Amino acid sequence: MMTPRSFFSRVARRLAERRRRARFAAALEHIHGADFHVPRDAVLAIVLVRDGSYYMDAFFDYYRAMGVTHFAFFDNGSTDDTLARIRAEPNTVIDRAVLPLAQYEDLMRGYPAQTYGADRWCLYVDMDEQFDFEGRARIGIDGLVGYLRARGDTALVAQMLEMFPVTPLRAADDLDFEQALAAFDHYDISTVERRPYHAPEIPFAALLRDNTIPDARIDFCFGGVRGRVFGETCCLTKHPLIFNGPGVTPAPHPHLSQGVVCSDMTAVIRHYKFAGGGLARDIASSGTADLDHGEDAARARVAARDPDVTLYSAAARRWAGIAPLQQAGFLVPSAGYNAYLASREGGA
């Protein structure tokens, strides 16, 4: 039975949500891509960006080589030449809202999917991420989507792999992003904490309730090397690739979508958070209201104590592709997907 207090609390939450959405709508600007259209057989990359010029060339090179042709950017207040550089690229669209990320990230990520990606495959990626999967160079994103579609899947789970150099982080601050991609060639999964996909102790477990997984080995991962060095409890698991069809809610949380059927294998996201002076950016942003999880502040405290902080240790491993991550249990392989790859090669 609903009490008066719970009734009024529910009404207050609804009114607050209505005000939040109204503020988002008032701040929303469409600034590029009046004729933007995504073909039904194309994958739409959705990118939340602010001051992403540092990553731009390598970002487009990587994802276009994978077969991604259409890009929807949502800008959160860039002050460098990010917007001009995106405008110069074909098949791009830019929307913009300068609002606190912590309060509006779900709306910023959801808007491009609902506006341009309805009944389309959508790939959520950040500028400092490289989404990768077994057979990428051979079959590309279209081949991967073909496998998911044939199974009736509407999402692919991926685990984030923090990449770092063997040097202290600040020693790599002056590298451009292409140089950083080469220098940040190590990872460390020795302290990753795993939780079953539907574990009730996951903070956002309620958002996962209606999702399905075909394999109990598909977990949510937390912590990792950033947990070891900075004490973070960051989530490492995402649903980067989804089909935004009926019953699916795209990106109500930065790491997941709702109402999805996950595939039987997992991919990886190489994350280059600390390239281009990432730790210095954390120190600068730790006093702002943009983020509410305190992770920037945690990294800033460690950097203040140890300016030569490094993520490298004896547990680090050099990047050598997908197979070692599957053998270590970090990624989940699939016999069905391996057979699919073999059939694609046989038909080539």
Query: What's the burial of 137, exposed, middle or buried (CB within 10 Å: 0-12/13-18/19+)?
Result: exposed
Q: Phi and psi (nearest 5°) for 199?
A: -65, 130
CA distances (Å), 18 to each of 22, 60, 249, 250, 301, in order? 6, 36, 18, 19, 37
Helix/strand/coil for 281:
helix
Phi, psi of 50 (to 5 degrees): -150, 120
Tens digit of each residue's pLDDT (9 = 90 or more) over 47-74: 999 999 999 999 999 999 999 999 999 9
How large is the average pLDDT for residues 282-291?
60
Give me the phi and psi of 196, to 5 degrees please.
-55, 145
Is 70 exceeded by the pLDDT of residue 175? yes
Q: Is the pLDDT of residue 291 over 80?
A: no
At residue 99, does pLDDT exceed 80?
Answer: yes
Strand partners, 94: 32, 73
CB-based burial label for 307 (10 Å; 0-12, 13-18, 19+): exposed
37 or 1, higher pLDDT = 37
pLDDT tier for residue 283 given thresholds of 50, 70 and 90: low
Q: Which residues contact 287 (CB under 8 A, 6 or more apart)?
A: 297
Strand 121-124 with 237-243, pairing: antiparallel
Report the SS3 class of residue 312.
coil
What was the pLDDT predicted at 10? 84
**What pLDDT score does 288 carry?**
56
Q: How far from the centroid of its chain's Cα atoms is residue 231's Cα? A: 21
The fraction of the chain above a pLDDT of 90, given in percent, is 86
> Does residue 282 surpass a pLDDT of 80?
no
Least confident of 245-249, 336-340, 344-348: 344-348
pLDDT tens digit sequence for 31-51: 999 999 999 999 999 999 999
Residues facing residue 212 across a β-bridge: 261
Q: Is the pLDDT of residue 292 over 60?
A: no
pLDDT (tens digit per residue) in 230-278: 999 899 999 999 999 999 999 999 999 999 999 999 999 999 999 998 7
At a CB cut-off of 8 Å and minimum separation 6, what does 99 contact? 23, 24, 27, 76, 108
* Band of pLDDT at residue 26, cut at 50, 70 and 90: very high
What is residue 156's predicted lDDT score, i.e. its pLDDT? 98
As a whole number of angstroms, the distance between CA 332 and CA 220 comes to 12
pLDDT at 296: 78
In tens, the pLDDT along 209-241 reads 999 999 999 999 999 999 999 999 899 999 999
In contact, 27 and 81? CB cutoff 8 Å:
no
**Backbone phi, then psi, for 99, in 5-degree steps?**
-140, 160
- Render pLDDT for 303-337 as a digit per residue (tens, 0 to 9): 889 889 999 999 999 999 999 999 999 999 999 99
Cα dihedral value 308, 309, 311, 316, nearest 10: 60
- Name the 3-class secondary structure at 110: helix
Q: pLDDT band at 2, cuts 50/70/90?
A: low
Phi-psi region of 329 (alpha: psi -120 to 50; beta: other; left: phi over 0): left
Residues forming a β-bridge with 266 = 157
Query: What is the rounded distance in angstroms from the CA atom of residue 106 to the CA atom of residue 55?
Result: 23
Q: Would you state the pLDDT for residue 300?
A: 84
The pLDDT of residue 213 is 98
Q: Is the pLDDT of residue 285 over 70?
A: no
pLDDT score, position 159? 98
Mean pLDDT of 96-100: 97
Q: What is the pLDDT confidence band of residue 298, given thresholds at 50, 70 and 90? A: confident
- Angle of helix 136-151 relative to helix 56-66, nearest 10 degrees? 60
Q: What is the mean pLDDT of the chain?
A: 94
Give pTM, 2 decimals.
0.93
How many Å apart are CA 122 and CA 263, to the nearest integer?
Answer: 15
Residue 134 — φ and ψ, nearest 5°? Answer: -60, 130
What DSSP assignment string belongs to 5-63?
HHHHHHHHHHHHHHHHHHHHHHH-EEEE-TT----TTSEEEEEEESS-GGGHHHHHHHH
- Closest Cα to residue 250, out of 138, 154, 136, 126? 154
